[in-house]
Structures are given as C-alpha cells and as structure tokens.
Structure 1
Amino acid sequence: MKLYINIFIAFFRSGMLGFGGGPSTIPLVHKEVVGTFKWMNDEEFSDVLALGNTLPGPIATKMAGYIGYRIAGILGLLVAMFATVLPTVLLMLALLTSFNQFKDNPNVQGMTHAVVPIVGVMMGVLTWSFLKKAKEGLGWINGGILLIVSFLSIIVLQLHPGIVIGVLLVGALVLPDKKKKIEVHVEGKSEGL
C-alpha cells in the first residue's frame, strides 16, 4: 500500500507544480522518479522520455502510465495517471470561473509570461544532465554528431521526431557496442576480441 501512496505523491506533486503543460512536468517527474524515490536511473528515464515523445498525446500522462506500470503493474499505472491528472482537474474546476474575471489583469499576464523562462531553465538543467550521461556512454564527439544530425533532420528536413528517435533506436540495436569485448581464455591468458 505504501508503494501506491508514494506513486500517488510523486505524480501528484509533479502534476501540481508543473504549471505550463507537459514539458514543465518532465524535470519534476525526473526529480521524483530518479531523485526522490529512485525507481529508475537517468538512462532509464531518458528512454521513457524518448518513448513518450514518439507517441501521440500528453507527455505527462504517457510517462506516468508507463512508470506506474513498470513500478507496480496495472494498479500502479492507474494511480500514477490519476495522480497526474487530478491537480489539473481540481485547478480547472476552482480557477476556471475566476480566471475569466482576471485574465486581463497585468499581474496574471505577468505570471503566465514568467513561466516560460522557468520552464526553459528546468529543461536546460535536464538536458545538461542527459548530456553528461551521453559523454559517459557515447563520448562528446559521437553525442554531438547525433545531436546535430537529429536537429538537422527535425528542423531542416522536417522529419517527425518519432521517426528520428526510431532510426536512432534501430541504430543502437544494430550497431555493435565497442566497449563490450568478448573474452577468450587461451591457456590461462585472457584476450579481448
């Protein structure tokens, strides 16, 4: 029961504090899932994020559903998705009527405009964290090449990000890992192939 409560708390907090939509919740979910509860490591989280970005629909609920299912099965999926959506539903019910009265207020407009740079900084911090992990796995040169090729494919060639991520995943599965060597034991000596 404690696991389901923790799942609810983690996704409710990220849903409650993630003002501004899905991208603003990604760093918050990362903090809860990787930092606070340690249900995943950075690499696993980045895989979930990549998978979530390839599928249609809101990123926060896709990530919550997958992570909840991975941690605690079907009930975990339901708890995580309910906890992610609940703050939005409650805030919409409470604020929808009052927002129309205050939407032209300069203070309210200032608050909504102030969210954009905050989300940008949070996404930058998460990106920097992923770049540091990429340095360990791919190295700066290979990681930089993948970043540039992906950016050009999406912006210049206007390929859908799902296609780019799919090609990268297939490439990762097909290409051999140079860091892993097969050990062959020859008369007491160990040689890498």
Structure 2
Amino acid sequence: MSNIYWSTFSTFFKIGMFTLGGGYAMIPIIEEEVVNKHQWVSKEDMLDLIAIAQSCPGVFAINISIFIGYKLRKTRGALVTALGTALPSFLIILAIAIFFHQFEDNKVVAAMFRGIRPAVVALIAVPTFNLAKSAHLNRYTLWIPIVSALAIWLLGVSPIWIIILAGVGGYLYGLTQKNKKA
C-alpha cells in the first residue's frame, strides 16, 4: 500500500473511531482532517461533496468517505477510505454485541451515554451553521432552508421530497441563469 492509501485509511479510521453521533457529527472532524490538515480537497469541493453525499442513499459517513477517496485515487481510494470509515464502527458494534449483556444495566455506562448526548447535538449543530455560512445564504435564499426545515419538522414532509425539490429547483435556476448569460 502506498503512503497515500495508508494515510487516507488511517485518517478515516481515526474519524470513524472517535466520532459519536453519526455522519453529520463527523463533518467538522472530516473537514479539519481533509481540508485543513491534509489539504486533500478545497473548502468549496468539500461543500459540494457534502451536498452530494447527503443526496445519495446510504450512510452519510461512508458516502462522504467514498467521494473523497475517489477524488484522490479513484476506485482504490474510495475502497480504502470507505473501509477506514466503516471498520471502527463494525468492530465496536461487534464488541458491544458480544459483551452487551455484561454492562447493559451498568449505571456508569448509562450515565456516560446521557452525558454524551448533549455533546452530539453540538457536533451536529456546528457543521449546520458552517454549511449555512459557506452556502452564501442571503435575504433572497435564506427562506429555502427555513421552509425546508419547517416542512420536515412541522408538516412531516419526507426529506427525500425536499432533496428532490431542491435538486429540481437548482437545475431550473441554473437553466434560467444560463439563458440570461446567452
């Protein structure tokens, strides 16, 4: 394995190992490692990769790792980063499945998980605000995420419909901008 493969595997293994709260909680850590530390992708490319990963079916963390790995080293890179991201969760879940009965009623373990929950909320909130800043929202576009969030939260609209409508809306907007330039 060449250095880039080991580097991407170990980076995504670390991300997978030390991130609680799912894929969205991984965004600040992935961004720090991939954009700031290793400079494998630019901040703008990272935003695009996040949008694509969110729009694809499957686990967000795996999707984003695959896209980053593919961008770096095509199919082999995607396989290495996906394995690096998934392996820690697999090993942890396997260990929990094997030993769960020994600590399921442990008050210390339950208290630890209660303490972790608020931190996970912050880990999800921070990338949300950072994405909003990076998306260059203005007074003309701010309504889109607000209406989308309210539709999902209050009306129970499926996020799938929001993604489809946003994709169609973005495509139509792009067509109108293309026609204006012509």
Query: Normalising TM by the smaller chain, what interval?
Result: 0.7 to 0.9
The higher-RCO structure (CA 8 Å, 6+ apart) is 2
Aligned mates of 1:130, 1:37 — CA distance in 2: 20
Q: Is the 8 A contact 2:152 2:159 kept in 1?
A: yes
- What are the residue-to-residue correspondences of 1:25-44 with 2, within 5 Å? 25-44=26-45
Aligned to 1:5: 6
Contact 1:60–1:84 (CA under 8 A) maintained in structure 2: yes
Q: RMSD of aligned C-alpha atoms?
A: 2.5
How much does 1:157 deviate? 4.0
Amino acid paired to 2:111 = G
Confirm whether residue 150 of structure 1 aligns to residue 148 of structure 2: yes
Q: Which residue of 2 aligns with 1:47?
A: 48
Residues 99-127 of structure 1 deviation map (CA, whole Å, 9 limit, x = unaligned):
32112111101111222211111122212
Check if 1:74 corresponds to 2:88.
no
In the alignment, the residues of structure 1 paired with residue 163 and residue 44 of structure 2 have an alpha-carbon distance, to the nearest angstrom, of 15
For these two proteins, the number of residue pairs brought into alignment is 178
Q: 1:159 to 1:42 in 2, by over 3 A?
A: farther
User: Where does the alignment leave 5 or more consecutive residues of structure 2 unmatched?
Assistant: none
Q: Deviations over 1:34-65 (max 9, x none)?
A: 22222223333233223222333221111111
Report if the CA contact (8 A) 1:23-1:119 is conserved: no
Unaligned regions of 5+ residues in structure 1, if any? 183-192
Structure with higher strand content? 1
Residue identity matched to 1:172: G
Q: Against the structure 1 CA distance between its residues 152 and 92, is the aligned structure 2 distance closer, same or farther, given a 3 Å change threshold?
A: closer
Percentage identity across paired residues of the two chains: 33
Match of 1:159 among 144, 157, 161: 157
Which structure has more helix as a fraction of its residues?
2
Moved more, 159-168 or 6-15: 159-168
Specify the structure having the higher radius of gyration (Cα): 1
SS at match of 2:140: helix
